[in-house]
Amino acid sequence: MADDPHFETRAIHIGQAADEATGATIVPVYQTATFTQDAIGENRGYEYSRSGNPTRDALEAALASLEGGRFALAYGSGMAAIHGVMQLLSAGDHVVVCDDLYGGSYRLFTKVMPGFGVRFSFVDATRLDEIERAIEPATVMLWIESPTNPMLRMIDIAACGEIARRKQLKLVVDNTFATPYLQNPLELGAHVIVHSTTKYIGGHSDVIGGAIVVDDEATAAKLSFTRNATGGVPGPWDAWLTLRGAKTLALRMRAHEANAQQVAEFLRERPEVERVHYPGFPDHPGFELARRQMRGFGGMVTLDLAGGAPAAKRFAESTRYFSLAESLGGVESLIGYPWTMSHGAFEPEVKRSKGITEATVRLSVGIEHADDLCSDLTRALERAVSAR
């Protein structure tokens, strides 16, 4: 193997050598809760699958390599991984958070963590001055997404990394939308990366999972200790499915992005659509930033329907190939209504302040043929209008 293999090669080979016991080419599913020890205090590297499992180890080695980090920790869900990052905090700590973010993160930050004495301030992180103003003596962490969910705003990771360096903060980037194929935040100054591997990394909507990737050994050790203490690990079968999905991430992301670009351009020409949010448009406010810090524009498209809430709901309920469903990042296309689905945890006034309205629809563009997807959206738009 080359000293510095490409992404596609690492996705298939890192952490995935042939099994020493049998020669199996594919990493086995070590479907065991415990491991027989040779003697008291003597084992073969594993004792109990909550603390360590060979299948999970293979997944973690692959994810660390894909993100360019030294350490990765797999979790039982994306939210378990996000909560794992929260376990780096203590009572009295303060976190500055981008205000356009996943609804599950917002729910955790506003409804759960304050009970443990952790405070959060939400800011428009596309404006670096707002980040600076929100930092106080108790601030220890800056949390961002880029592109953001669901409005696909771009946040300057390198600039946030510089702020974090000056203020001695941990910069955390939720990289779920971009994936490690399109963006590597550690290279831009981030300290912690979090993923819902349920989405693009798993890629087939058949497994729930999460991951954290870091470069710092002390941070990795603390995360590993708290994960073992709290137990938020994936089972070996879930780890195996996620690892299998990661092998084709590069291929799928190229297809997702090509389809998303075509769908976004198509929607922009439709009279039923008031606005299309996609960072691949040259007039998108974050277009140049996306070109600098990403290697593509991703597979997510958000739009606002001209007919308001009634049209948006009819549109979301009228597609054939876009399944009306929670989640994103699978090979199949999904359509969601953020107002009540992915961002239902936000108060109405908060949603509106972020640009999410009752007319907003989010598309996770899959890898079907783009012409079929556009035909499907055409029929749905016509139905939405004809029912008015």
Closest listed residue to residue 97, CA positions, set 40, 30, 42, 146: 146
Exposure string for 326-351, b = 16+ CB within 10 A, e = fewer: ebbbbbebbbbbbbebbbebbeeeeb
Distance CA 325, CA 316 (A): 10
Is the Cβ–Cβ distance between 367 and 255 less than 8 Å? yes
Residues 6 or more apart whose Cβ sits within 8 Å of residue 266 = 374, 377
358 in Cβ contact with 312 (< 8 Å): yes
Catalytic residues: 50, 102, 174, 199
CA angle 380, 384, 388 (to 5 degrees): 165
**DSSP letters spanning 184-251:** -GGGGT-SEEEE-TTTTTT-SSS---EEEEES-HHHHHHHHHHHHHHT-PPPHHHHHHHHHHHHTHHH
**Cβ atoms of 192 and 163 closer than 8 Å:** no
- DSSP E strands, 261-357: 273-277, 300-305, 323-324, 334-336
The residues that bridge with 213 in the sheet, in sequence order, are 72, 193
Q: What share of the chain is helix, strand, coil (3-state, %, to 5)?
A: 40, 15, 45
Question: Token pair of 64, please?
Answer: 């660390």
Number of other residues whose CB lies within 10 A of the CB of residue 129: 9
Q: Quick one: angle between helices 249-268 and 236-247, nearest 10?
A: 70
Q: How far apart are CA 302 and CA 335, in angstroms?
A: 10
